[in-house]
Amino acid sequence: MADFTLRVRRYDPESGEAPYWEERTVSLEEHRSVLEGILQIKARSDGSLGIRCSCRAAICGSCGVRINGEPGLACKTHIGAAQRHSQAIGKGGVIEVEPLGNMPVIKDLIVDMDAVHWKKIQRVTPYLIGRQPVPEREYIVPRESMLDITQTMACIQCGACVSDCLSMEADPGFIGPAALAKAYRFVGDPRDDRRHERLLDLSEDPQGIFDCTHCFKCVQACPKEVNPMGQIMRLRRIASSDEQIVDANNGVRHEAALSTLIRDYGLLHEAELLPRSYGGNSWFGKFHPAAARELLSSLPAIVKAVLRRKVSPRQALLGHKLPPEDLKAVKAIYEHVEGRRSPHRSERYELNLFIVGEDEDGNESAPAGAADKEQSA
C-alpha cells in the first residue's frame, strides 16, 4: 500500500464559481486504478466529487477522463503508472485528473456526451440498412469482410479520441474520429445497402472525412486500438478510388496535389499547391466550380503565411527541390508503390493487423486479421 496524490479538476456550474484544482491523498496498491483512487476520495473525503463509471473493466466506456493531460479510461490506468508518468513529465508525481476535452463539463469529471459525441454518432446513420433484395434466409457474409470491420466494432464509445481531436478543437462541427470510425463499420459491411450514399455524404460534407488533419491524436488516445484515423483514411480511399467520388470540397484533389508535388519535387512546392488542388492538375481535369469559394477564402491564409514567414515568397514562387540523388530516392518509393497497383497486378491486398493470435490448429501466430482482397482501382 502506498500514498498517491490526485489533483482533480473541480467544477460545479450551479455554484457559479470558476473551475479549480483540488488535491487529495489516497492509499492504494500501485496496481490499482486511477478510478479506484477517485472512488476512494468520494467514499472517504468528498462524496460530492462527480465521476461517471460503471463496469470498472474497460468495457462500458463511461470513465473517460484526462490523466496527466492525456485522455484515457480511469479504470484502465494503473495508479502507480500514472504517478511515474507524472514524475517523468515534471509534475512531481502528482496525478492530474480532469474531464475530457471538446465537450461541455456537466460537473467535475463528467462531460456532456449527448451534446457532442452522441450527436455526431447519430450524424453518420449508425445502423445497418439491409441490402436489397432481402434474402429468404440470412445474409451470407464473407469471413474476411467481417474481420475487416472488427476493429471498428471494438469501439466502446468512451469519447477519448473526441477529447483530443485537433480538428474538432478548431472546428467543433467536424464529424470527428469516433463517429467516422463508426461510419466505416457500415461502409465496410457487405450487408449494407448504402455504401455509395454514405461515402458521398461524408465526402461532400465540408466537415466530413476531408476535415481530418492526420494529427494521430485519436490513434494515441484510443484505449481499444480502434485507430479512428486509419478508418478515416480507408473511407477516403474507398470514396475516391473505388467509388470515384470527387468531392466539392476538393479533398481528393488536394490529396492528389500533395502527393504529386512530393513525387515531382521531393518537397512541397507551395506555389503549385493551390493550382493543382483547384483544377490545374491534369490528373483531375477541369476546375470544380464549387472550389472557387474555397480558393478565395484561402487567400487571407496565404497572405498570413507569407507575413509570418511560414512560407518564403522566393521559395514559394521558385519552388525548391531536393538534391538529385535524394529526389531519385523519393521517386523510387513512388514507383515501388504505384507499381503494386499497375494494371499488370490487378489485385490489391490490405492487411488489417488488429486481430492477432494463433489459429486453432496451433500454427504459427500471424496477423490473422482481414486479408482484404479487392480489385484495384
Write out the three cell numbers for 16: 457559479
CB of 312 to ligand FES, least distance (A): 49
CB of 81 to ligand FES, least distance (A): 16
CB of 106 to ligand FES, least distance (A): 17
Residue 101 or 266: the one with the smaller Cβ distance to ligand SF4 is 101
Decide which of ligand FES, ligand SF4, none touches 166; Cβ closer than 5 to 8 Å per partner kind.
ligand SF4
Residue 224 or 288: the one with the smaller Cβ distance to ligand FES is 224
Decide which of ligand FES, ligand SF4, none touches 55; Cβ closer than 5 to 8 Å per partner kind.
ligand FES
CB of 59 to ligand SF4, least distance (A): 11
Q: Which residues contact residue 348 at a Cβ distance below 8 angstroms, ignoring those fewer than 6 apart?
A: 340, 341, 373, 374, 375, 376
Handedness of CA 85, 89, 90, 96 (dihedral sign): negative
For helices 251-265 and 324-340, give the axis angle rounded to 10 degrees: 130
Residue 58 or 183: the one with the smaller Cβ distance to ligand FES is 58
What DSSP character marks residue 74?
A: G
Q: Which residues contact residue 105 at a Cβ distance below 8 angstroms, ignoring those fewer than 6 apart?
A: 11, 13, 19, 99, 111, 112
Listed residue (158, 178, 168, 181) closest to 102, CA to CA: 168
Decide which of ligand FES, ligand SF4, none touches 245; Cβ closer than 5 to 8 Å per partner kind.
none
Q: Left if phi > 0, otherwise alpha if psi is -120 to 50, otherwise beta: which for 244?
A: left
Spatial distance between the Cα atoms of 277 and 255, rounded to a whole number of angstroms: 8
Q: Kindly write down the DSSP assignment for every residue of 313-354, as one continuous string.
A: HHHHHH-----HHHHHHHHHHHHHHHHHTSTTS-EEEEE-TT
Spatial distance between the Cα atoms of 310 and 268, rounded to a whole number of angstroms: 13
Spatial distance between the Cα atoms of 208 and 232, rounded to a whole number of angstroms: 9
Q: Left if phi > 0, otherwise alpha if psi is -120 to 50, otherwise beta: which for 16?
A: left
Residue 161 or 183: the one with the smaller Cβ distance to ligand SF4 is 161
**Which residues are near ligand FES by CB under 6 A?**
53-56, 58-63, 73, 75
Residue 52 or 224: the one with the smaller Cβ distance to ligand SF4 is 224
**Which residues are near ligand SF4 by CB under 6 A?**
155-161, 165-167, 177-178, 181, 212-218, 221-222, 224, 226, 228-229, 232
How many of the other CB atoms lie within 10 Å of CB of 247? Answer: 25
Whether a cis peptide bond, with omega within 30° of 0, leads into 206 is no
Q: Distance between terminal CA atoms of the chain?
A: 60
CB of 223 to ligand FES, least distance (A): 8
CA 152 and chain centroid, separation:
11
CB of 225 to ligand SF4, least distance (A): 8
Residue 170 or 317: the one with the smaller Cβ distance to ligand SF4 is 170
CB of 247 to ligand FES, least distance (A): 36
Spatial distance between the Cα atoms of 223 and 73, rounded to a whole number of angstroms: 7
Residue 218 or 256: the one with the smaller Cβ distance to ligand FES is 218
CB of 110 to ligand FES, least distance (A): 13
Residue 56 or 263: the one with the smaller Cβ distance to ligand FES is 56
